Structure formats: C-alpha cells, structure tokens
Structure 1
Amino acid sequence: MNNLKNTPCLIVTLCKSLNYGAYLQAFALQEILTTYGYQVSFLDIYDKENNIKRYKHLFGGIKNTPQSYIFNIRKLLAFKKYEKKLTIVPRGNLSRFKVVFIGSDEVWSVTNGSFNSAPEFFGINLPKSLKFSYAPSVGSSNVEDLNSYPKYVQGISELSMISVRDIESLEVAKKASIDKDISMVLDPTFLHDFVKNEEKYDISKPYILVYTYGFEKNIVKEVKAYARRNKLLILSAGFYHSWADKNIACNPFEFLSIVRNADSVITDTFHGSIFAIKYRKNFISYGGNKPKVKYLLESLGLEKSLVEVGYLSNDNTIDTTYSNLEAILNPKINESRNYLERCNTMMLN
C-alpha cells in the first residue's frame, strides 16, 4: 500500500474523551492507519456544548468530594498532555482529506449523555471523499432511537463501506443500508500492539485492578471481602472510588502497565474487558446487562467471565481460561485487517 504514502486521512471519533478506552481506541486506529501510509488527523467535534458536557461529566457528579475533585483534576491534566500525541484539526475547510474513517467507540449512540451526537459521526458535513466506518457502536441506543434522526440514518446509508463492532450496531446499519455488505470487525485496540507504548507505573504490593464507573453496594462488599481473603490491594485506575485502597489518575499509557501487572481485573466496561483479555489477565465482568460487553465476551468464548452479583461471595475465584482464545480471536483480527485492506483498495482505485 505504498501508494497511500502521505495520503491525508481524517478520523472522526471521541478523540478528547477523558476515558482510557476512548483514547486508546483512537490512538490504536491512528497507529494502524499510519502503517498503511496515511497521514492521520482527528476532527475536533468538541464544540462549546460538548466541552461543557465533557467537564460536567467529570466534575458534576452528586457523589463528588474534595478528594474526587482533586483526583479528576489530575486525570484531566494527564489527558491534556497526551492529547498532543494526536493531531487534532478544527471543523472548517477539510477538503484536503482524501479519506475519512468514522469510529470506533459509541459514535453512533444518540442516547449517551456524556456527549452530543455530531453530524460528522454519520458522515455529514465531511469532505466529498471516500468515507468508511470502522467499528462504530450505537452503545445503548437501538434502531428506534436512530430512526428519530433520519438525517443520521441517511448519512450511514451513504458511507462508502460500513463496518461495526457489535450486534446492536449491525442491526442499525442493516436498516440504514439494506443493499450494502456490512462487516463485523474488532475494536482497533485488538489490532494494535501497545507494548512499545506502555509507560511504567510501580505499585509496591499485589493488587486487583477495578475498572468501573461505579459498582452497586453489594458488588463493592464482595470485592472488598475477596481482596481481604487474598491479601490484595483494591486499585482503581481512572475513576475515584472511596472504597478502593488506592485511586490512580494515571495517563492512558500508564494504565496499560497497570493492567499488565495486576493480579486480576474486575470490571463491567467494554474496554476494561478488552484490556484484561489483551493482557490475558484473570478477570470477571459484572457487565452482562450491557449488550456490547455481553456480545464481546460471548463472541470470544469468554462468557464464563460474565458474572452476577454474589459471585465472589460464594468462594469463587477469578480464574480465566484462554485455551481457545487464539483460535477464535486470530481469524477476527484477520477479518478486521481485511476490511481495512478493502478500504485501501477502494481508495487506490
């Protein structure tokens, strides 16, 4: 694909989200596309309203305390520094971009309260170039929710090629684009090797990593009991929880080494599950009520890691079997890369 060298390429995603998964999926897609020769930039969709939502989401919670405010300020500063690893361009004259990749993350969600849907997430207001989606998700939205935005549905239908990362997003794409083939691909974090990007973060004692926006009280109780039984610290990265032994407002690349060095991982999030899997950690997820988490783990043969409240109260251990993962995951990685190759072929023709 040398003919793509220095081809201006625009990625439209949540590039300024103060969330490890959102940042790392954006970074991963940038790195993958760069290997094909693209000169990658990100569109800044963070207008005044989205910036207000971003900061309100970080500082406006009813459970905020002085400790959590200080924690979130540190987190904000860490992310501000690492935004510089992404070339972010403002809305305006985008005519120089020959190709656009939309995704991944929940860019097709119209019900996510942490950001306003941008028309560009659906291919609208973008240059007259080839437009591809790569692994977007509708999150908790569904076909009916998207049907309330006919312009967005029309925008999806006009994309040059379409891929999604989960079943709910596939249903939306099928409704919008009846005559087009739609590919199921992996989140870009599965396609990039982050080893060279990791930044060391030393933790002096063995620990469980918890990665969650918040657990209900019964889960907190059993997690704490499990940690005591196994003489492990409870470490929370990226989110302040008063019940954790240690809260760390690390940068995204320190987060990677924190996952790598954890004794085990407890999460209920999509990317929390992904990074536990990438580093082959023993993990459990309380995210079975979230369609994207449930689909991810079931599609990789790791449905036994989906647990209900009370799991750790029954003397169960956190023990994940990965014996079949390579046979399932590697073909999906190849299919995802093949989709990108087809996008590149269309770009060259």
Structure 2
Amino acid sequence: MIKIGILTIVKVNNYGAELQAFALQYKLNNLGYNAELIDYLFYKNKYYKFSNKSLPIFKISLKNKLKEKLLPLLEIVRSYKYRKNKKIREQKFDKFHIKFSKFSSLTYFSYDDLYSENFDYDCFVVGSDQVWNPYNYVSIEPYFLTFAPLDKPKISYASSFGVSSIPTNYHSEYRKLLNVLDAISVREARGVELIKEMSGRNSVHVVDPTLLLGVEDWRTVAELPSYEHPYLLLYVLTESSYITKLAKLIAKNLNFSIIRICKNASSEDTDSSIVNIIDAGPSEFVGYFMKASFVLTNSFHGTTFSTLFEKPFFTILPKNKPNNSRQQGFLFSIGLEDRLIEEGSSFPHPECYALDFTEPSVRLQELRVISEEYLFHVLGSPE
C-alpha cells in the first residue's frame, strides 16, 4: 500500500483549514492509500518556532508586517472576556484532530525540524488551502516539498495562491519552486493561468478537498445543533453592516432566526436578534451548515459547505478586492455565479432566495470525477 505524507495548513483553529486537511487525508485513505498529515506547525500556531531559514522568501510590506503583529494582540484583548469560550473552542479542535484526523507520529515545530527528518513516505502531497500565498509571514518553500527526498514523487493537490496576481519580480522564484513538483493541480482556474505564466508548466484545476466528500461522509463528523426553528446561518470573515442588514432582511422575509458562527472566539456584536456561536469546533461548524435553512457568507469554505449541503445561500464579495477568484471561480464552475453579491449593491428580491441545485450538483460531480482521476493518475494504484 502506498504511504503518503500530506503537507498542508492545519492546527491553526481555523475551520476551513482544519476541514480541508481532514478531507484530503480522509479521501485518500478511502481510495485505498495509506495517507497521513505531516504534523508541521503553521506559523500561526502558538508553538511554531521561527528561525532564519523560515523567514518569508518574498518581501512583506510594512502594512502586512504590522497586521501580522498587531491582529493577534488585538484578538487577545478582544477575546479576554471570552477566554473560557476560547478554551472550549480550542479543546474541540483538539478533540477533532484526535478523533478524525490521522497525523504523523512526530510534530515538527520548525522549518529546521522538518528539513532534518528522514521521511519514509512513498509519495508526498502538498495542499490544499493557501499554501502558496506570497504574503504568508513565513517561508513557503516547504509547501513545494523541497524537504522531501529527491527520488520520491512530489504532488500538488488543489494548492492555492490565495490571490489573483503575483508580482512579476516573484516569478523566477516561483518557477524554481514549482519545478520541484512532479505534478501540479490547483484549486482555482486562475491558479492554472498563474502557473503557466510563471513556469510555462501545465496544471490541472481540481476541487477543494472538502468537495471531494459527500454529505454522508460529512455526516460522520458533524454535530448537529439542537435548534428546531429554521435559521439563517451567518458566517463571515469580515464583519459589515451591509451583511448584517441583508441577513436580517432575509430572515424577516422567511421568518427565520439568525445564528452567527463567529470567526474567532469572541464577538463585539450585542444585537439580541442574532445568536452568536463563539465556541464551535469543526464538528459543530459542519453541523450548523448541515442543519441551516439559508446561509449568508463571504468565506470560500462557507460557500463550499453551502453548496455541498444544497442550502440556499448568497456569497458576499467585498468591493475592489483582488483575491475574490476563489469564490467567483468556484461558483462560475458549477453555474451558481448568480449567488454572488457585491457588497453595497441592491439587496436581492425575495423571489431570488430559492435555489435549484439540480444542474450545479451535476457539474460538481463532474469536477469530483476529474479530481479523483487526477489523484489516481499521479499517485498510481493504491496497492
């Protein structure tokens, strides 16, 4: 049986990151491979150890440096009164890892730890998530599998740049790193174009790992909420009065309550008409989406789970943002581009709330087949 080591972003208490990591190792094992997540901590994990070798390989602007330094501090201050909920949330993430995810026996706390290891995998896979984002505040070189033995296959599955454009002065470095890989697939159609522009290489457009799993697969990890009254689920990464007003309007028109899954274990919202969930783990996150009657989100994975569970939804796009290719590309690929709303535009009419998933589900299944065929092609027979 082929033994596969997967390198991705995980253990950062982020719903999308944790669930895509789980989904890829789950799917590979279901296909007959022996796959596990390489327990290499991402720099946002509080136990990650920086070194000279782990510094970003691309220049980080002063604005982004301040963002990386100040936002975690701001979150600590904001979440102080919610510290008990934060602890509960962290425990739920840990419980999810132990119960559902398969990790390497060793944890790699630093770049140096990873590169000093003598791995015995037959094949290495990187992805998914924004592993190739040039603005990550750490070296992204490991996410091109440069630590793996030269004679072992190195594969990308649904890796993402997280942005729609890469500065031209970064292209030569990306070209060098991309050429380490034996086969490349990416999560966005724009990623295919970027790879061609930077390296001249062809790549395959595949679905995010969360979309490789069906409803019954997700039901095995979901914890459904006890709410019986129909609710609109609100999951946003950046708060705005526009989204809140739209949520209230839709909920009023449909006689739904509103439940918000908070991005972090804190909330500054004191609106009594909205139930804020600040201590959900990955299983609860899946459960809230599974039981929702409507979803409003500006998150990529909020969009994918709405689609997976065939929930009427709208995805809100912020104005003048260059990285919207994630949501736009996915929804265009399955024919649901009309569910995109640019922030600040007129609210959709109630007659637009309903959603027929007949054609989108067919398109999604076609994309799943392409993605599975790619995996079998590049990994070979599981036996």
TM-score, with length taken from structure 1: 0.86
Determine if the alignment matches structure 1 residue 148 to structure 2 residue 173.
no
Q: What code does the residue aligned with 2:75 have?
A: G
Aligned pair partner of 1:227 in 226, 232, 251: 251
Determine if the alignment matches structure 1 residue 199 to structure 2 residue 223.
yes
1:165 is matched with 187
Aligned pair partner of 2:325 in 291, 294, 302: 291
Aligned pair partner of 2:369 in 325, 334, 339: 334
1:77 is matched with 91
SS at structure 1 position matched to 2:358: coil
Determine if the alignment matches structure 1 residue 94 to structure 2 residue 115.
no
1:301 is matched with 335
> Quick one: structure 1 residues 313 and 168, their matched pair in 2 at CA, closer, same or farther if it must change by over 3 Å?
closer
2:51 is matched with none
Equivalent pairs, count: 339
Q: Any idea what the Cα deviations from partners look like across 1:207-245, whole Å, max 9, x if unmatched?
A: 111111123222222322332343322112242441432
SS at structure 2 position matched to 1:198: coil
1:21 is matched with 16
SS at structure 1 position matched to 2:341: coil
Q: What code does the residue aligned with 1:134 have?
A: Y
Aligned pair partner of 1:247 in 270, 277, 286: 277
User: Percent of aligned pairs with the same residue?
Assistant: 26
Gaps of 5+ in 2: 49-67, 109-113
Q: Any idea what the Cα deviations from partners look like across 1:119-170, whole Å, max 9, x if unmatched?
A: 211222223310000000100262317x437444312122111101113321
**How far apart, in 1, do the equivalents of 2:171 and 2:202 lie?**
22
1:215 is matched with 239
**How far apart, in 1, do the equivalents of 2:279 and 2:186 lie?**
31
Deviates more, 1:323-332 or 1:103-112: 323-332
Indicate conservation of the 8 Å contact 2:10/2:42, yes or no.
Answer: no
Q: What code does the residue aligned with 1:264 have?
A: F
Moved over 6 A (4+): 52-56
Deviates more, 1:31-40 or 1:7-16: 31-40
Q: Quick one: higher RCO (CA 8 Å, sep 6+), 1 or 2?
A: 2
**How far apart, in 2, do the equivalents of 1:222 and 1:200 lie?**
25
Indicate conservation of the 8 Å contact 2:158/2:185, yes or no.
Answer: yes
Deviates more, 1:277-286 or 1:103-112: 103-112
Q: Any idea what the Cα deviations from partners look like across 1:288-315, whole Å, max 9, x if unmatched?
A: 6511111111111001110133544755
**How far apart, in 1, do the equivalents of 2:163 and 2:27 lie?**
27
Q: Using the TM superposition, give the Cα deviation of residue 286 of structure 1 relative to its aligned residue in structure 2, in angstroms.
A: 0.2
Determine if the alignment matches structure 1 residue 46 to structure 2 residue 20.
no
2:353 is matched with 318
Determine if the alignment matches structure 1 residue 275 to structure 2 residue 305.
yes
> Quick one: structure 1 residues 94 and 151, their matched pair in 2 at CA, closer, same or farther if it must change by over 3 Å?
farther
